[in-house]
Amino acid sequence: MTDFLDTFLDDYFAECDEHLTAVRRTLLALESSIGRSRPDPTITEELFRAFHSLKGIAGMVEHREIEMLAHEMETYLRAVREGEVRLTTAGVDRLMDAARLLEHSIAARRQGEQPIDIEPALAELRQISPDEEDSPPSSALPAPDSPAASWQCLFTPSPELIARGINVDVVRARLREQGDIISALPVVGDGGAIAFRFVFEGNPEIAERDAWVADGMVCSKIDDAAPVAVSTVVGERSAATLSSANHVRVDLARLDDLMRMIGDLVIRRARLGDAIARVESLVPSTDWRGIQENMSALERQLRELREGVMRVRLVPVAEMFRRVPFVVRDLARETGKRVTVDVSGEATEIDKFLVERMLDPVLHVVRNAVSHGLEGVDERIAAGKSPEGTLTLTAAAAGEMVTIQIADDGRGIDTARVIARARVAGLAIPAHVDEAAILELISSPGFSTRDASDRVSGRGFGMAVVRTRVQELGGAISLASTPGQGTRFTFDLPLTLAITDALIARVGGETFAVPQASVREVIEINTGGIHALETGELIQYRGAPVPIVRLSDALAIPVRPATRLHAFIVNAAGAPIALVVDRVVGQREIVVRTTSDPLIRVDGIAGATDLGDGRAVLILDVAALARQARRTRGIVPVRETA
């Protein structure tokens, strides 16, 4: 019975999460409707659905706080929808506060903590809602003054218009200036001619509309009674209208199990391959070909299976990015700054596990950008910038890596101040402080740019934790900052953690695996071409000197001297570095077992794998090795840890 209840509660929490995500997303959209007589019905409907479902499921598990909060939120929203009250900033703020309480209350219940006091929030919501008894029937209301209306604009392109520089993108930009575009679709008109139908909300001026006609744009007002068909929306809002009817919710642990089983299969196949190779001489060559064909088919199918399961684990980065505007909005209000958030690449897919692990680091960097990076309105105007700061979030996938960038157009990192702070914190300052060195300094434990009283940095989640988290995930961070122009943090993360392609290399008697995604190129070097300098060794690579790191030195492995060696060219904080091994022996699909135990965790080793012969092979953490090399070269010395 308890089991049943637990499962039931798990489902309840999962469902709450879903509705909360919808609420968060939609509330932000609702904000743009402030001041209008009636907000976009698609937005209010979605909110309604979410509140209503929350109320219903909370009732089933007797979660009173949620039930009552959702009820009051619904009441206010209904009044807004019916036009009884006008949507105000205060109203949206109350809804957002209440949404946050919903979240906390659900978290408290999940952790088995004391219920949260919701009375003040309920009282506030009741205050802005009309009294239920004397609310007038909506039809008796006076007509709202100049509301934003829905418009349709039909644009028919022609060669003449193109010659005048008027194309569909120009039209779209014009309409965007006049209001919010709801949908943009190509349509086929009479005689098969192609036109574009835009539906937008706004108040285009008559003069403007008349001028548009000459540019092939014909606007007409849409009757309110005929709601816009949102299901056919393309582009502008398609992400929000994805139906969830065909989706199945799966516990992540089950997917982990599945991935582990596939990992075992990959290892088993490798062993089988080795075993078969050993008997090659005993098999007639005609039979051998059959075996080979089957083996390669098996390998290919295993890879497809792995990719299939991996795809199941992928979720759009939007899951993470959606939280950002909320955080920014709160912080901007607290600090009196004006910030717009620009998001691109939300549809980029990333492992669910990564989303969960990266959320805090991303939010931390976002908070830093808003509270330290972006300037206040006055300072921006004085610097000749627009009063509104911009925070840009970008996600993009390239091969087996995903890149997430967080950029602001603020004042940039003040190098002198970082150095002063680092000195106070007792960190050693390198002779030449570049962006990589700054990153190193601000990611050192104990470093802080503000006093402890600062609310944002006082959360115990500093850049040090951000960096550790990214490294644990097999990723890398880099930093670019221009004084007066802004700061950009880049996270490069592996698309998935469990299985990856690797290059296998030998050093002395040892074998190592190097994740292929971190390798830019494999080269052969002649030991005669290595130049020894005081601070280390260099080779010429593509016409430029590149520092080399001998793995035999870095990991203290005895090797015999050789005249020809292999090297991996890898990126270390933006600059190439050559990791020298004895020989690269091949390429394999490896199953990554991370070394999470701090006792056996060594900087430079990302984990271990089994190549199929039962022996554990260490996986190199290329970024950490490169970082180590920079340190020992004295470029970025670190604080003594004694």
Partner 1 sequence: MVKASLAALSGPCEFVEASSGLEAIERLALGPIELMVLDLNMPDMHGLEVLGFVRSHSKYRQVPVIILTTRGDDASRAAALEAGATAYMTKPFAPGTLATKAQELLEPGSR
- Positions in the binding site for partner 1 (CB under 8 A): 157-159, 162, 167-169, 172, 184, 186, 188, 192-194, 196, 234-236, 304, 307-308, 311, 397-399
For residue 284, the number of C-alpha atoms closer than 13 Å in the C-beta half-sphere is 2
**For residues 127 and 52, what is the distance between their CA atoms, to the nearest angstrom?**
21
Sheet holding 510-515, edge to edge: 583-591, 499-507, 510-515, 616-620, 605-610, 593-594
Least separation in angstroms between residue 228's CB and partner 1 is: 18
For 577, other C-beta atoms within 10 Å of its C-beta total 23
- In eight-state DSSP terms, residue 371 is I
Closest to partner 1 by CB, 222 or 397:
397
Distance between CA 348 and CA 355 in Å, rounded? Answer: 12
Distance CA 278, CA 518 (A): 32
CA end-to-end distance (rounded Å), the chain: 55
Contact 584, 522 (CB under 8 A): yes
Taking the least distance from each CB to partner 1, the nearer of 308 and 446 is 308
In the complex with partner 1, which residue's Cβ is closer, 14 or 187? 187
CB of 291 to partner 1, least distance (A): 25
Q: Give me the least distance between CB of 156 and partner 1, in Å please.
A: 9
C-alpha to C-alpha distance for 394 and 612, rounded to whole angstroms: 39
Shorter beta-carbon distance to partner 1: residue 277 or 398: 398
Nearer to partner 1, 186 or 574 (CB): 186
Report, in Å, the least distance between residue 194 CB and partner 1: 4
CB of 347 to partner 1, least distance (A): 8
Q: How far is the CB of 191 from partner 1 (least distance, A)?
A: 10
Between vectors from CA 333 to CA 331 and to CA 338, what angle results, nearest 5°?
Answer: 90
- Smallest distance from partner 1 to CB 308, Å: 8
Q: How far is the CB of 394 from partner 1 (least distance, A)?
A: 13
CB 532: neighbour CB atoms within 10 A? 8
At closest approach, how far in Å is the CB of 235 from partner 1? 4
Torsion of CA 365, 371, 374, 379, to 10 degrees: -170
| Distance in Å, CB of 193 to partner 1, minimum | 7
Q: How far is the CB of 305 from partner 1 (least distance, A)?
A: 12
Residues 6+ away with beta carbon under 8 Å from 103: 20
Closest approach, Cβ 161 to partner 1, in A, equals 9
Are the C-beta atoms of residues 523 and 578 closer than 8 Å to each other?
Answer: yes
DSSP state of 447: -
3-state secondary structure of 479: strand
| 616-620/510-515 β-pairing | parallel
User: Please, which residue, 159 or 598, has the CB nearer to partner 1?
Assistant: 159
- Cα atoms found within 13 Å of the Cα of residue 475, Cβ hemisphere only: 25
Distance of CA 515 to the CA centre of its chain: 22
Kindly tell me which of 393 and 437 has the beta carbon lying closer to partner 1. 393
In the complex, the smallest distance separating the C-beta of residue 491 from partner 1, rounded to whole angstroms, is: 19
Classify residue 145 by burial, with Cβ atoms within 10 Å: 0-12, 13-18, 19+.
Answer: exposed
Query: Closest CB to partner 1 among 60 and 234?
Result: 234
Instruction: For the sheet with 194-202, list strands across it.
Output: 179-188, 194-202, 149-155, 217-221
- CB-based contact 117:123 (threshold 8 Å): no
Cβ-based neighbours of 576, under 8 Å, separated by 6 or more: 520, 541, 546, 569, 570
Q: Give the nearer residue to partner 1 in terms of CB position, either 351 or 440.
A: 351
CA 476 to chain centre: 14
Q: What is the DSSP string of 234-259?
A: -STTGGGG---TT-----HHHHHHHH
